[in-house]
Amino acid sequence: MQDSVVDKLRNNPKYHELVRKRARFGWACAILMLSVYYAFIMTIAFAPQVLGQPLSANGVMTVGIPVGFGVIIFAFMLTGVYVYRANTVFDRMNEELKREVL
């Protein structure tokens, strides 16, 4: 019985659509996050003076500190977007598949 359910699932076009959409969205999120992180690291490597500028004339904190926090916050926000999409779009598609296959 288990094999027949797996076969039904694998032959269902909605399953392939779910897998394709989830993979595409996951790769898009990964590329976006890696691009932000890579830009931050490349700025540190090749233009450290940009991130090393003080925020104010007499200040101790540099531009790099809020930019670094921004990268971290961006990662949390991107995770939230992924979770939201997974809990709405992907879960709905998954429930439709369950109803059709089982």
User: Helix or strand or coil: residue 58?
Assistant: coil
Residue with tokens 């797996």: 6
- The model's pTM is 0.85
Label residues 91-100 b or e (16+ Cβ within 10 Å = b): eebeeebeee
What would the pLDDT profile of 17-70 be if each residue is shown by its tens digit? Answer: 999 999 999 999 999 999 999 999 999 999 999 999 999 999 899 999 999 999
User: Do 68 and 40 contact (CB within 8 A), yes or no?
Assistant: yes
Per the structure, the complete domain to which residue 51 belongs is given by 2-101
Number of domains making up the chain: 1
pLDDT at site 31:
98
